[in-house]
């Protein structure tokens, strides 16, 4: 949260930068840990949401594992002290180099997304004389009812193994002597706010858990992924997710044996609200039909609005004016999509005012770029 003392401390800082409220982060992590522990659930943090080292250190200290989607994420997690036996490597396109390095790091599990990938991991493991633990990422064909660009669980998506391919997977596994199938894995999308979607996922997981048991596989792990959404519209009213309700859905509807573990891969829900992008107004352009605030931050610092048409709450944290004006809030990049929000009602704003773009702790800093030879965005932390 942004209070007066915090905002005052920003005045002397060079913008743009990401501000991380580490106290809120710790409160969020503790809330999640306590809710998961009630049911004996295991949480892995999805590094793709944010791999800022201070953020990762707080997550490591709480005891969560690491869900990685690249070889460098695997390396980062292990270098920062995450237990390799809590590191899972997912991703639809793992390279031979990445797989080999993960095998050498003795990670807990590969989440495998195709029949061919089983063959490749088996061959690389054989060369190293290692056994690879694998979980099959299955496409459950469950609609997450979220933005089309962040839906991942439908048959039309590139992710996962389709259910009609499972018999081929079983045959491949029988031929792959270096592989140990320990579980099944699902991830249906991101920014899911309707918990009924997760109920539908549970029913599909139950069906497939029985299917594998019928085929001779007593699975150790049911990995239900992540995808829990956050409140982008009211970050101060809902800074911490209702993790109790989220995990209760799975406890109620997921049918697991006593010896089966349930794993989650949460990212956005853990880190989104602790981060804000802080920027200054460079120019104010008043027109006949449009008013523009041109910021020193752009799509190079926060890509989500340009990429997904994503909403972020925008606040002028300097202005004391009671006069309200609607502005298009834009960046300095030479692209028409470099826009954070259209017709945003703000106090009358002036050059030099500070602007906060809220709920930017997930998929913000990690997606920043050097396009236009922009300097990489810096980070500032709460004390």
Q: What is the 3-state secondary structure (H, E, C) of the chain?
A: CCCHHHHHHHCCCCCCEEEECHHHHHHHHHHHHHHHHCCCCEEEEEHHHCCCHHHHHHHHHHCCEEEECCHHHHHHHHHCCCCHHHEEECCCCCCHHHHHHHHHCCCCEEEECCHHHHHHHHHHHHHHCCCEEEEEEEECCCCCCCCHHHECCCCCCCCCEEHHHHHHHHHHHHHCCCEEEEEEECCCECCECCCHHHHHHHHHHHHHHHHHHHCCCCCCEEECCCCECCCCCCCCCCCCCCHHHHHHHHHHHCCCCCCCEEEEEECHHHHHHHEEEEEEEEEEEECCCCEEEEECCCCCCCCHHHHHCCCCCEEECCCCCCCEEEEEEECCCCCCCCEEEEEEEEECCCCCCEEEECCCCCCCHHHCCCHHHCCCCEEEECC
Looking at the structure of the chain, the number of domains it has is 2
Radius of gyration of the chain (CA): 22
One domain, residues 208 and 286: no
Confidence (pLDDT) at 113: 95
Q: What angle do CA 375, 376, 379 make, to 5 degrees?
A: 125
- Do the domain assignments include residue 1? no
Which pLDDT score is estimated for 150?
A: 41
What's the angle, vertex CA 159, arms to CA 155 and CA 160, rounded to 5?
85
Q: What is the pTM of this model?
A: 0.94
Q: Are residues 200 and 85 in the same domain?
A: yes
pLDDT at 158: 72
Angle at 381 between CA 63 and CA 62, to 5 degrees: 5
Same domain (yes/no): 267, 294: no
Task: Flag whether 15 is in a domain.
Answer: no
pLDDT value at position 338? 97
Listed residues 249, 272, 295: the one ending a domain: 272
pLDDT (0 to 100) of residue 4: 86
Whether 90 and 135 have beta carbons less than 8 Å apart is answered as no
Tell whether 192 and 58 lie within a shared domain: yes
Tokens 């095998």 correspond to what residue?
103
Nearest to 308, CA basis, from 337, 280, 284: 337
Q: Are residues 55 and 195 located together in one domain of the fold? A: yes
Within this chain, do residues 134 and 181 fall inside the same structural domain, yes or no? yes
Nearest to 40 by CA among 268, 260, 265: 260
Q: What is the CATH number of the domain that holds 135?
A: 3.20.20.10
Same domain, 309 and 170: no
pLDDT at 155: 53
Per-residue pLDDT in tens (0 to 9) along the chain, 383 residues: 688 889 999 999 999 999 999 999 999 999 999 999 999 999 999 999 999 999 999 999 999 999 999 999 999 999 999 999 999 999 999 999 999 999 999 999 999 999 999 999 999 999 999 999 999 999 987 765 554 544 544 455 677 999 999 999 999 999 999 999 999 999 988 899 999 999 999 999 999 999 999 999 999 999 999 999 999 999 999 999 999 999 999 999 999 999 999 999 999 999 999 999 999 999 999 988 899 999 999 999 999 999 989 999 999 999 999 999 999 999 999 999 999 999 999 999 999 999 999 999 999 999 999 999 999 999 999 97
Domain that holds residue 286: 273-381
> With contact defined as beta carbons under 8 Å apart, do 152 and 187 qualify?
yes
Report if residue 259 sits inside a domain. yes
265 lies in the same domain as 306: no
Residue with tokens 């840990």: 33
Between CA 92 and CA 117 the distance in angstroms is 9
| pLDDT given at position 153 | 40
CATH at residue 376: 2.40.37.10
Report pLDDT for 156. Answer: 57
Amino acid 147: pLDDT: 46
Domain co-membership, 163 together with 295:
no
Give the per-residue pLDDT at 149.
Answer: 47
Residues 70 and 148 in one domain: yes
Residues 139 and 190 in one domain: yes
């Amino acid at each position: 949260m942004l209070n007066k003392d915090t905002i005052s401390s920003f005045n002397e800082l060079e913008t743009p930068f990401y501000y991380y409220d580490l106290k809120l982060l710790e409160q969020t992590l503790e809330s999640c840990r306590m809710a998961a522990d009630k049911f004996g659930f295991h949480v892995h943090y999805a590094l793709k949401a944010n791999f800022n080292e201070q953020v990762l250190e707080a997550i490591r200290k709480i005891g969560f594992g690491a869900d990685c989607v690249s070889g460098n994420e695997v390396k980062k997690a292990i270098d920062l002290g995450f237990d390799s036996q809590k590191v899972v490597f997912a991703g639809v396109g793992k390279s031979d180099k990445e797989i080999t390095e993960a095998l050498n790091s003795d990670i807990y599990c590969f989440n495998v997304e195709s029949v061919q990938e089983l063959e490749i991991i088996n061959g690389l493991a054989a060369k190293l004389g290692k056994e690879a633990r694998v979980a099959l990422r299955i496409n459950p064909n469950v609609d997450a009812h979220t933005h089309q660009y962040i839906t991942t669980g439908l048959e039309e998506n590139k992710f996962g193994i389709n259910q009609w391919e499972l018999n081929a997977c079983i045959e491949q596994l029988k031929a792959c002597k270096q592989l140990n199938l320990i579980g099944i894995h699902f991830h249906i999308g991101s920014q899911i706010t309707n918990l009924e979607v997760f109920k539908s996922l549970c029913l599909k997981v139950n069906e497939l858990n029985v299917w594998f048991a019928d085929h001779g596989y007593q699975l150790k792990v049911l990995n239900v992924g992540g995808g829990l959404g956050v409140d982008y519209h009211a970050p101060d009213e809902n800074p911490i997710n209702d993790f109790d309700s989220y995990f209760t859905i799975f406890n109620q509807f997921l049918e697991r044996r006593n010896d089966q573990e349930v794993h989650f891969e949460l990212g956005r829900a853990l880190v989104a609200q602790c981060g804000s992008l802080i920027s200054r107004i460079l120019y104010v352009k008043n027109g006949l039909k449009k008013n523009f605030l041109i910021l020193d931050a752009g799509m190079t610092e926060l890509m989500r609005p340009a990429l997904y048409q994503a909403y972020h709450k925008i606040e002028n944290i300097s202005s004391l004016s009671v006069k309200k004006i609607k502005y298009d809030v834009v960046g300095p990049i030479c692209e028409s999509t470099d826009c954070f929000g259209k017709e945003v009602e703000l106090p009358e704003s002036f050059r030099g005012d500070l602007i906060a773009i809220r709920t930017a702790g997930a998929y913000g800093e990690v997606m920043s770029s050097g396009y236009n030879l922009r300097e990489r965005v810096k980070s500032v932390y709460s004390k």
